[in-house]
Amino acid sequence: MEPMIDTRAGMGDLLERVLDRGVIIKLDLIISVAGIPLVGLSLHAALASIETMNAYGMFGDWDRSSRAEAAIEADPARLRWEVGESVVLEQFAMVRGEQGIVRSWRPGRAYLTNRRVVLVRQAPFEILVSVDLGDIAGIGAFAHLEAGVTSEVICLARSDGELVLVRARDAELFGACLTELLSRGGINVAQLDSAQLRAAFPDHSAESQLWHDSGTEVGWRPGWAAIEDGSFTFWSDFDQRRVVDIRISDLDRASVQRRRLSDPLGERDVLCLVPRGGQPEMVFAGKDVEQWLAEISRVMAGDGSGAS
């Protein structure tokens, strides 16, 4: 990029210059107060089209990787269908993943082919699930409540014992097509009991991130709270384990109180849970403590208990 001075250049010339040959910006600035230099700024910048940058050996690796990723995103062949493999059904679906007590449904496109079940996230591209039909040992479905939403969940049991949970946009159609594909392939699978699946994957009427007062010098620790099958649990990200697991029926009372947490945090609303039998109070902070109190109160009322 060679320097060039042209006082007759207009906006169009400037734009053409930027895109075609590039512009070098050099700025040296010193800020002084009462003749005393305090702040210095030295700026060197190059502005040009990507093609021009590449010609001067700049952004080459980034440009190649970006173009390759874009090409992959636009190419459905990246799924690498096998010879003779054909898609029977395609629809939006989600697969469940877990870390500790944190459950998340990862969205993508589900493909039922004459050979396998594939769930793909489009951007960035990732194969979330790929199960050969011959690797399916059992199939079942059950109604699952999570964060106030009830949906039909299809469970696939692999031959190695791993369970894959899928929420399809049309669960009935998904299940029927999968059953038909297994039947056509002469693959005999066990029918999983819905009641046992519900017991293995209890409802989650509430789940979100909260902060727990550990009662130690460490103080407040982040983690994830959940209400499942009548129990309140808290997974500590710091300890990487459940630090609270209590039946809601064992709580004496629950309330939201205004308390001073610390100098940086100031006063906040906190969720206070008091177990029966004189056990220590458990305190949690978060942006949705009122909703947590409402849900805990609902469960306590169903157990014949109360909340303050």
Do 287 and 184 sit in the same domain of this protein? no
- Tell me whether residue 92 is in a domain: yes
Please state the domain count of the chain.
3
Is 78 part of any domain?
no
**Is the same domain home to 95 and 196?**
yes
Same domain as 214, residue 173: no
In a shared domain, residues 254 and 297: yes
Same domain, 246 and 171: no
Q: Provide the pLDDT for residue 47.
A: 75
Task: Find the domain containing 229 and state its range.
Answer: 204-302
Question: Is residue 217 in a domain?
Answer: yes
The 10 Å Cβ neighbour count of residue 142 is: 19
The answer on 289 and 243 residing in a single domain is: yes
Q: What is the predicted pLDDT for the residue at 101?
A: 47
Q: For the chain, give the secondary structure using H, E and C.
A: CCCCCCCCCCHHHHHHHHHHCCEEEEEEEEEEECCEEEEEEEEEEEECCHHHHHHCCCCHHHHHHHHHHHHHHHCHHHHCCCCCCCEEEEEEEEEEEEECCEEEEEEEEEEEECCEEEEEECCCCEEEEEEEHHHEEEEEEEEEEECCEEEEEEEEEECCCCEEEEEECCHHHHHHHHHHHHHHCCCCCEECCHHHHHHHCCCEEEEEEEEEECCCCCCEEEEEEEEECCEEEEEECCCCEEEEEEEHHHEEEEEEEEEEEECCCEEEEEEEEEECCCCCCEEEECCCHHHHHHHHHHHHHHCCCCCC
Domain-located, residue 3: no
Domain-embedded: residue 2: no
pLDDT of residue 140: 94
The domain that holds 249 is classified in CATH as 2.30.29.30
Residue 220 lies in a domain: yes
In a shared domain, residues 91 and 180: yes
In a domain, 5, yes or no: no
**Residue 163 sits in the same domain as residue 256:** no
Residues 214 and 276 in one domain: yes
Within a domain: 210: yes
Mark whether 121 and 147 lie in a shared domain: yes
- Name the domain boundary from 200, 220, 236: 200
pLDDT at residue 109, rounded to an integer = 92
- The verdict on 271 and 183 lying in the same domain is no
Q: What is the mean pLDDT of each run of 10 residues along the chain (308 residues)?
A: 57 69 78 77 77 75 67 58 91 79 76 94 85 95 75 93 92 94 94 88 75 80 85 85 90 92 78 90 90 90 62
Look at residue 1 in the predicted model and tell me its pLDDT: 45
Q: Do 101 and 18 belong together in one domain?
A: no
